[in-house]
Each structure stands twice: as structure tokens, then as C-alpha cells.
Amino acid sequence: MSQSTLPAADCVLVAQEGAVRVLTLNRPQALNAFTATMLAHLRQALDDAAHDRAVRAVLVSGAGRAFCAGQDLSDPLIKPEADQPPKDIGHLLDHYYIPLALRLRSMPVPVVCAVNGVAAGAGANFALGCDLVVAAQSASFIQAFSKIGLIPDCGGSWLLTRLVGRARARQLALLGDKLPADQAQSWGLIARCVPDDQLAAEGMALAQRLAAMPTKALVETRRILDEALELNLEDALKLEARLQSQLGFAHDYQEGVNAFLDKRAPQYKDR
Ligand code: T3D
């Protein structure tokens, strides 16, 4: 299938392959570390994908040998300067990381992350915030924050314990050691670890597969899996019933059942 390149800022490349919007973090000389400009473009690219009804899944990856080294520590917005008072780095979180993490969580389509190399700091937590994470064998995840005197951000404080439990979350966040992709998979931090030369194909295959599925049901599945963690059983059952009732009125449920009964492939279109 041909990949057409759409207009975009250089630091985040945007392309379309079938119903999949492909976003590539593109500052390989700095291991795709996030500058404020890049964070703004990434959020805009996610907004654009969310608003384009031709998009049924998003695939995010990185250019070069890394996925993303987290916040660019040389960005003038946060870089400490001699003889100047410390800068308020909370500003960066309020204006860039919080909206980015929330945008990811509220995407109306599933988001697959193909982690092609090291994912550190906010780069790791942005990846882990995606719906399905597939990583190359040579990739790794680093909660680099403690090494520079910070706490996990970009959703890390919320995600880590949920993904790997208290002991492993603390080990990752306190020590800031590199977790190889195969161990990340065996710990349940990510969905899959694949040979390096299969990453691009595997990421695209997952995204294409999700793009052909009933999008609304996938997005509500994401929602209930997160929300149910905070609920007691009875409230979770009630939320299941409410969402199931809504989905039951949608085209895709009617189509799924009819296709099953007709012994044909379903054609889903809700978003
Ligand atoms: O203000 C705030 O900080 C709040 C927000 C926080 C969110 C965060 O993400 S905090 C965490 C920030 N990230 C880090 O602390 C990771 C820093 N990077 C590293 O520890 C290492 O680079 C890696 C373990 C990721 C990879 O190591 P390695 O040996 O494979 O590569 P390298 O040689 O260290 O890096 C290659 C180049 O990328 C190098 O530039 P050069 O010397 O070739 O010109 C290096 O400076 C640059 N680079 C890597 N990470 C960053 C970076 N430049 C700017 N910011 C980075 N985060």
C-alpha cells in the first residue's frame, strides 16, 4: 500500500496509510527528545487525526535509533541558566504534557505505539499511554526522572502501578534503570516485543487490524478498563450495562451480528 505524505511540521511527520494515520517523531539527532514546539505539533497531529473521520487508528513511532528521550533538557524553556533564578517547569507540564496525555486518552480511535529504540522519561510514558505498545527487541524503557531530581510525569505516576504493580513500579521509578523490551513484555508493561526487523510491519499490522474493527466499541473498552479500576463491582456492572446499551443502538453492533449470521465479513463504519 502506498504511503502519502501530508503537510506537517518537520519534527512530527504525518502520513496516511489506508485508514491508519502514521505519526513519526522526527528529531533523531536528539533521540527525538520533546521540545515545546514538538509537543505542540504532536498534540496538533493527534487533534487532526481525531477530527478526520477517514482515520480509524493511529500509529506512532520514532525516526532513527530512538523512540524518544523525553523532555529535551536543552530547551530554553526549562534549561537552567547560571545567575538566573530557576524556571517554573510546572508551566511545561500544564501547557504541554497534561493536554498531550489527556488527548491520547480521549482519542476517538485506538492508538498503537511502535517503540523502535530507547523510550525515556516523558517519551516512555507517552508510549505507555497508547492503547497497544509493540517494541523492537533492541528497544528499552527508562523512567529517567529520578536521575535528574524529578518524579514520573506525562501520566507515569498513574500508569506505572496499574501496569506492573507496586513493587515493579517503584523499582522502575526510583532506580531509573533501563528495562529491556523483552522484560517489559514479560512484566506486562507492553503488549509485544518483536525482532527489530519486524517492528514496522507488526506495528502497521496491529493498527490496520484495529482500524477494521468497531471503533466505538474499542474506545469504550479503553474507557471501561480504566474506569472500572476505580469502581466497586456493582458500579462497574452498571457502567458496563450503560455503555453496552449505547453500543447496542449503534450501526456497528447491528452490522457485527448481521455479518456473523450471514457468514460474511463485517463492514464497520461508526467512529
Ligand atoms: O523540565 C522538565 O524536565 C520537566 C519534564 C520532564 C519530562 C522528562 O522527560 S524528564 C526526563 C528527560 N530525559 C532524560 O533525562 C533522558 C536523557 N537522556 C539519556 O539519559 C540518554 O540520552 C539515553 C539513555 C536516552 C540514551 O543514551 P545513549 O547513550 O544511547 O545516547 P546519548 O549519547 O546520551 O544521546 C545522543 C544524543 O542525544 C546526545 O547529543 P549529542 O551529544 O550527540 O549532540 C544527547 O545529548 C542527546 N539527547 C539525549 N537525550 C536528550 C538529548 N538531548 C536533549 N534532551 C534529552 N532528553
pLDDT in tens, 34-64: 999 999 999 999 999 999 999 999 999 999 9
Residues facing 134 on adjacent strands: 114, 192
For the segment 126-139, the average pLDDT, to the nearest whole number, is: 98
CATH topology of domain 3-211: 2-enoyl-CoA Hydratase; Chain A, domain 1 (3.90.226)
Q: Among the atoms of ligand 1, which is closest to the Cα of residue 89?
A: 1
- In 18-65, the DSSP E strands lie at 20-25, 57-62
Class of domain 215-262: mainly alpha
pLDDT score of 204: 98
Do the beta carbons of residue 216 and residue 224 sit within 8 Å?
A: no
What is the domain partition of the chain in residue ranges? Answer: 3-211, 215-262
Query: 69 in ligand 1 pocket by Cβ < 6 Å?
Result: yes
Helix (H), strand (E) at residue 167: helix 156-175
Ligand 1 centroid to Cα of residue 90, in Å, is 19
Nearest to 214 by CA among 256, 244, 173: 256
pLDDT in tens, 209-261: 999 999 999 999 999 999 999 999 999 999 999 999 999 999 999 999 999 99
Query: 121 in ligand 1 pocket by Cβ < 6 Å?
Result: yes
Domains 3-211 and 215-262 share a fold: no
Q: In the annotation, is 153 catalytic?
A: yes
Task: Tell me phi and psi for residue 179, to 5 degrees.
Answer: -105, 115
pLDDT score of 1: 36
Q: In the annotation, is 226 catalytic?
A: no
Top mutation candidate among 11, 34, 67, 73 for ligand 1, by most atoms within 8 Å of CB:
73
pLDDT score of 51: 98
